[in-house]
Amino acid sequence: MYALIAVILFIDMAILVLSNGYSGGSYSVMHYQFARWAFTNPENLLNSWANPFFTLLAAPFALLGFKSLQLMNIILGILSGYFAYRVAKELKMKSPLLALVICSFTPVFMMTFYGGTTEIMFAFVAILGTFLLIKNKFFAGAIVISLLPLIRLDGLILLPVYAIYFIRWRKIKFLPLLLSATVFYSLIGMLFGKEIFWLFDGVKIWSDSIFGHGPFYQYILRSPGFFGIPNEIFFVTGLVAGLWLYIRERNEYSQEFVLVVLPFVIYFLAHSFAWWQGIGNSQGLSRYMAAIVPFMAVMATRGLYLFAKMFFIIFKSEAVRIGALILGFASIIHIPFAIQNYPVSLSSTDWALSDAAEYIKANSLDTKKIYYTDPAVFYFLNKNPKCNSCIEVKNAEQLKLMQNSDLLVFDVTFATLKGINFDSVLYSSRYKLIQVFKPETPAQTFGKPYFVALLERSDIDSLTMLENQKIISGANKSYATLVKYDFDSSTPTDTITVSTSKINRTAYFRIPKRNRNYLVSETKLDTINPIQPITLKVSYRQFRKTSDENLRYFVEAVSNESTLYKRVFEVDTPAQANPDEWHDISFILILHNIEVTPELVIRTGFWNKRKGEFLIDDYKVEVAVK
């Protein structure tokens, strides 16, 4: 056990040291900032959105920086695996150490280590509570479980499940303790002038589907991506075997059923229902499931053992059984590295916030009064978002308080949530657009292209709107053409798929239903003098012959046969697109931290992974130059 923990810790720490980003997006940064500035702004410790107990425990770690907070998550994650092992051992499962390995290397769990969100702490407290109850430590177990709603409010979902256990084992006197932490924090809040139900401020269970919604079974369909296919196989096997044991020997299995199976199933179904109905502000995020991974790991432990035992029964060989066990181990450890990118880098949208912050610092604008929609920008500014000159914009009316020369850092996601329309700001003649910051690769939020804009409040000027439009469209930038094919006068070397039709007399490039790369080009930039970071603009016309398929685009930076940068993403086709129309498509790609040298080669092209059929015309790749 100790050897396994040491190996897991070494792997996780190596990833932490090598990573320059984080998982969880802006929500990770927001939780970090509440913790980081908790001793400067004590009200952060009683903020309902930030989850007060999480903020309390995270604050000492956050003082040392974001990586320290990530280290806290790594420690809690490994401890979650340790207690999953202890639970499996108490339930007399064979090879209980499997629970430690399965928990630590479940993809969604491992990736969440490197963020600042609350799921890992929730998982640790939940599995610790289960362990204490299995050991008949009812008082301590009830107190620990009562902390769940203060780490994530959806911990309220699990309180009735644990209440069933107290009732089943005739320990009803401990039931009130399940609400002890909630009552305690409610009273503390009242001492500081809050309402008695302040922990539920802003909670609208039957809220509008502001983040959208999807089918009830969506988490089931996506589960191979966040649990991993091997873990799912072992989990389902263990669950079926456990239920069969429940039918045969009910008393022996009832503890496991109530304390392991039910918390997993109820939490999973509750989030599935919330996303289906679009309630509780559910975003349908995969990371929600990290909170119940230790329970899944315990159930999968029995499944992996039975998987190996099946080979022993078939082949009558202990060596074959051990080989199957090793194969299961290998598949579990391999899967997070196969489906996720390590080390962890900044997400595409986080790069836009980072670039905005760098621009503000480089131009000494951080001394001005800054109005903002997404507080994550202050992480990159290394500044307290609650400073005297920092003002969070909570609604459009608040913008009227801005004075001349005040700055507004606007992002599409949070501005939309707060009911602020960018067009109304951009075309008001009172806001001068200083710069627009695009994500590293195209990203959409609420069906709109994501970007971050830096604006300055100014006097009314009839030319302001015109200048703003130039900046938002990119007309104020100079571009040098790297690749240009109209497929009439200029064509690629491979002309086999260039053709015309009765409907389209001009030539176009046909991408057939084959899984391969198309229109691949390699160019050098050392004589072009591009701006930093390297900014590519890709534009083309597309006729999508298959209505349910999207193309993928890739960009690579290679130097001396070493890949410095590689991104592949799906190009969203306009919502109104149909198989009978041509559509103009244009997007920006930003390559950060790439030094332009004579050896640097930029490789771009299409990847038709999903085997749709497309027609491409007027294809052009440009690079922004000084």
**Which class for 121: exposed (0-12), middle (13-18), buried (19 or more C-beta within 10 A)?**
buried
Does pLDDT of 361 surpass 70?
yes
Angstrom CA distances, 468 to 38, 45, 219, 352, 436, stand at 38, 41, 42, 18, 10
User: 358-391 as b/e, with b when 16 or more CB fall inside 10 Å?
Assistant: eebeeeebbeebbbbbbbbbbbbbebebbbeebb
What pTM does this model have?
A: 0.90
Cis upstream peptide for 533 (omega within 30°): yes
Strands 614-625 and 600-607, by their bridges, are unpaired
Q: Please answer whether residues 151 and 123 qualify as being in contact, where contact means their C-beta atoms are separated by less than 8 angstroms.
A: no
Give me the pLDDT at residue 16, please: 96
Give me the pLDDT at residue 207, please: 62
d(CA 35, CA 29): 10
Q: What is the DSSP letter of 588?
A: E
Q: What is the mean pLDDT of the chain?
A: 89
Of the listed ranges 22-31, 82-91, 424-433, the least confidently predicted one is: 424-433
Confidence of residue 531 (pLDDT cuts 50, 70, 90): very high
Question: What beta strand segments (E) does 486-608 contain?
Answer: 498-499, 508-511, 517-523, 534-544, 552-559, 562-570, 582-591, 600-607
Query: Half-sphere exposure of residue 558, counting CA atoms within 13 Å on the CB side?
Result: 13
d(CA 101, CA 425): 52
d(CA 328, CA 306): 11
d(CA 129, CA 97): 19
What are the two backbone dihedrals, phi and then psi, of residue 264, each rounded to the nearest 5 degrees? -65, -50
Give me the pLDDT at residue 31, please: 95
Considering only CA atoms, which of 186, 204, 206 is closest in space to residue 196?
186
d(CA 327, CA 312): 14
Sheet-wide strand order for 390-392: 390-392, 370-372, 407-411, 452-457, 431-437
Tokens of 30: 């927001």
Strands 582-591 and 448-449, by their bridges, are unpaired
The set of residues, in sequence order, having a beta carbon less than 8 Å from that of 5 and lying 6+ positions away, is 78, 82, 100
Angstrom CA distances, 573 to 185, 510, 547, 620, stand at 49, 17, 10, 17
Of the listed ranges 22-31, 44-53, 209-218, 351-360, the least confidently predicted one is: 209-218
Confidence of residue 250 (pLDDT cuts 50, 70, 90): low
Tokens of 363: 């131009």
Q: What percent of the chain has pLDDT over 70?
A: 96
Q: Please answer whether residues 536 and 509 qualify as being in contact, where contact means their C-beta atoms are separated by less than 8 angstroms.
A: no
Give me the pLDDT at residue 409, please: 94
For residues 230 and 447, which has the higher predicted lDDT (pLDDT)?
Answer: 230
Confidence of residue 231 (pLDDT cuts 50, 70, 90): confident
* The Cα angle at residue 373 between residues 429 and 417, in degrees rounded to 5: 100
Q: What percent of the chain has pLDDT over 90?
A: 58
Q: What is the DSSP letter of 530?
A: B
SS (H, E, C) 467-495: HHHHHHHCCCCEEEEEEEECCCCCCCCCC
Which residues are 584's β-sheet partners? 541
Give me the pLDDT at residue 503, please: 67
d(CA 575, CA 573): 6
SS (H, E, C) 365-376: CCCCCEEECCCC
What are the two backbone dihedrals, phi and then psi, of residue 166, each rounded to the nearest 5 degrees? -65, -40
H or E element: which one contains 63? Answer: none
- Looking at residue 515, its amino acid is N
User: 269-306 as b/e, with b when 16 or more CB fall inside 10 Å?
Assistant: ebbbebbbebbbbbebbbbbbbbbbbbbbbbbbbbbbb
d(CA 609, CA 303): 34
Confidence of residue 568 (pLDDT cuts 50, 70, 90): very high
- Looking at residue 622, its amino acid is E
457 by DSSP, 3-state: which? strand
Q: Choose the most confident range, by mean pLDDT, from 131-145, 218-232, 363-377.
A: 131-145
Q: Which residue has the tokens 């960018």?
A: 422
d(CA 470, CA 467): 5
**Which class for 505: exposed (0-12), middle (13-18), buried (19 or more C-beta within 10 A)?**
exposed
Q: Please answer whether residues 433 and 468 qualify as being in contact, where contact means their C-beta atoms are separated by less than 8 angstroms.
A: yes
Give me the pLDDT at residue 591, please: 95
Give me the pLDDT at residue 451, please: 93
Strands 534-544 and 582-591, by their bridges, are antiparallel
pLDDT digits (tens, 9 = 90+) for 166-198: 998 889 999 999 999 999 999 999 999 899 989
pLDDT digits (tens, 9 = 90+) for 454-484: 999 988 777 888 888 888 888 888 999 999 9
pLDDT digits (tens, 9 = 90+) for 326-349: 888 888 899 999 888 899 999 999
